A and B are shown apart, each in its own frame.
Chain A
Amino acid sequence: MMGEYILKRLAVMVPVLLCGSIITFGLVFLTPGDIGVMMADAEASAMGAMATPEMVEAIKEHYGLNDPIHVQYLKWLNNALHGDLGRSFSTHKPVFREFMDHLGPTLTLNLAGILIALLIAVPLGVISAVKKNTIVDHLCRVYVMMEISMPTFWLALMLLWFLSVKYDIFPLYGYGVGWKDQLWHMALPAIAMGTSMTGSLMRLTRTSMLETLGHGYIVTARAKGLPEFIIVFKHALRNALNPVVTMIGLFFGRILTGSVIIESIFSWPGNGNLFLASINARDYPMIMGFTLIFMALFVLMTLITDISYALVDPRIQYEKS
């Protein structure tokens, strides 16, 4: 049953991804100017020369830029499916390799960030729900309101100023050498990223907990005389976690876009920083390749989230979704 559900969802992914590829390919028409000239310029600058009209024509012929648009698209898609997303204009390396080279730092930073967010937000959300309308709850809600109104980049800058400049606790930026040093360098960006997720996560946990605590089986558990601790953590929390799982999945799906700002502030050598650099350098193959890869990752993460959702909560029927 589970296998069938996964297969069905995978089948739905195909048209979505195809449309994503059409959107990505369509991005090329937004560029001001002739893409053939730009590619020729990029190739020529790699050899330390200027592009001549003949070169432009040769490049256009070589990459099939004179072909009808649907042929171009199919060629591009075929190449993309074989892992060939073109070469970066600035580094001349294959786009896919650039992506893989920078994936590690982005993944570790995001994992650490999400872990920190979970460790802060879920316990506080639970406390806030259990102690509803007490001073603790009010404080938590004030925090949530402040946090969701705060720009992520400003929070990161403030942490940087306070913890690195004023009290020289963490390094200012960079990646570090050796795992201990790297961990040390990662601390501040991870704290900034994690904190920026706590607001929405806490609010969600609180709402979900409040709803679960209102259910009949909680009353039953209380009537049985179970300790409050067990009621909250065993009966309520497990059932309240579903939306939290979904949100974590969303955070993962937004790894690139979520970490662009943090990575650029802390000069973290990840994909977010690279994507930003590509945008600023008008590196079109990189922008298109990264957009395609991250669209695919996002769709995949949505699928994984839905599956884990079903695993966490056996009541969910696969057929219905």
Chain B
Amino acid sequence: MSGIDPNMKHLWRHLPWVRRNRSRDASIKATADESTSLWVQSLHRLCKDPLAMIGLATLILLIMIAVFAPFLAPYDPDAIDISQRLQWPSEDHLLGTDKFGRDVLSRMIFGARLSLLMPAIIVVNSLAIGTTVGLLSGFKGGLVDSLLMRVVDIKSSFPGLLLTLAIIGMLGPGLFNAVIAMSISGWTGYARIIRGMTLSLREMEFVEAARTLGGSDGYILIKHILPNVISPVVLLATLNMAGAILSLAGLGFLGLGAQPPTAEWGAMLSDSQGLIFYAPYLMFIPGVAIMITVLAINLLGDGLRDAMDPKSGGMAEAMRG
């Protein structure tokens, strides 16, 4: 054993049975502590930011409302009662009724489900595409990298909303098509950032070690690189929810997203547009709900950005572009 290159010693850490006992290895323990403490530090900073906490609490409340909608809603959101149509807010109907006599409060509560879930799905889809492209591009390098990055460059030479509208135009209006179109339109930011991080990770010792031990490209990408790049990007992706909520509601408002009688905030606003003289409360309520949701995410996002990167908002700014 004496003939072994001392520099190769660290390779042992990457053997499966050694890794499981890695807390015994003092040097690895130190790095692990360092990395967790960075996260813990950020979290501590975040918890001290009152605005971010207000945002977080609001967001949790909204998610709870969406999850427990059937228990919270006083009426069936789709139950039509013409005799009760266009009632102003009252004790019976806290937020009034719409042109078919449906209870607006119940529709708002059920609408929270689609209005929160669909943007989340869009962001997850874009993240999945962006992560795949970024990982491949950064890890493979060479021709694959230049090809994929040209695609990203060209994709970002055109406004995302134009592409979304064009895709919906060809596929036809509808919530499902809107989700597809928005997922395809917004992944380039993630791809760029993941690629950058992968590029630097690729040269790290532990990747070299895994490769020396015979790890395949796929294994290294998924087991070693992905866990290291994903957490900051996922955190930042949640912040992109704000934009996704606004865009999806906008599409719903234009009649290109959720179709009536689906209870979705944007579509509800669209429904109320013709009733501006008789029932302005109908358009007031969904707008306030969208604004509160987006505001909560933005507040949390600003706090998170300051907490993770107190010096500058570089990464978050790049993600929004």
Contact = CB atoms under 8 A, between A and B. Distances in A.
Are A and B subunits of one complex? yes
A145 to B, nearest CB: 6
A257 B161 contact: yes
B37 interface: no
B199 interface: no
Given A149-B242, A149-B298, A154-B290, A32 B161 contact: no
Contact of A149 (B154, B173, B291): B291
A30 B171 contact: yes
A165 B162 contact: no
B159 A20 contact: no
Contact of B256 (A150, A153, A254, A279): A279
Interface string A301-318: 010000000000000000
Nearest to B313: A207
Nearest to B153: A16
B251 to A, nearest CB: 10
A161 B282 CA distance: 12
Contacts, number: 123
A295 B162 contact: yes
B258 to A, nearest CB: 14
Contact of A151 (B159, B246, B273): B246
A278 B256 CA distance: 12
For the complex, would chain B's binding face be called helix, strand, loop or mixed by DSSP majority? helix
A241 interface: no
B254 A261 contact: yes
A279 B165 contact: yes
Chain A, interface size category, equals 35 or more
B166 A287 contact: yes
Given A254-B159, A260-B165, A279 B173 contact: yes
A146 B295 contact: yes
A20 B157 contact: yes
Contacts of B173: 279-280
B260 interface: no
Contacts of B163: 23, 291
Interface in A83-111: none
A299 B167 CA distance: 19
Interface residues of B, number: 40
Contacts of A23: 158, 163
Nearest to B160: A257
A264 B173 CA distance: 16
A3 B315 CA distance: 34
A224 B287 CA distance: 52
B252 to A, nearest CB: 10
B170 A153 contact: no
A261 B250 contact: yes
Contacts of B256: 276, 279-280
Interface string A135-163: 00000000001101111111001101100
A146 B295 CA distance: 7
Contacts of B168: 279
B162 A298 contact: yes
The 7 residue pairs across chains A and B that have the minimum distance between CB atoms: A154-B287, A30-B170, A149-B295, A287-B169, A279-B169, A257-B161, A149-B294
Interface of A: 16, 19-20, 23-24, 27-28, 30-32, 145-146, 148-154, 157-158, 160-161, 165, 253-254, 256-257, 260-261, 264-265, 275-276, 278-280, 282, 284, 287-288, 291, 294-295, 298-299, 302
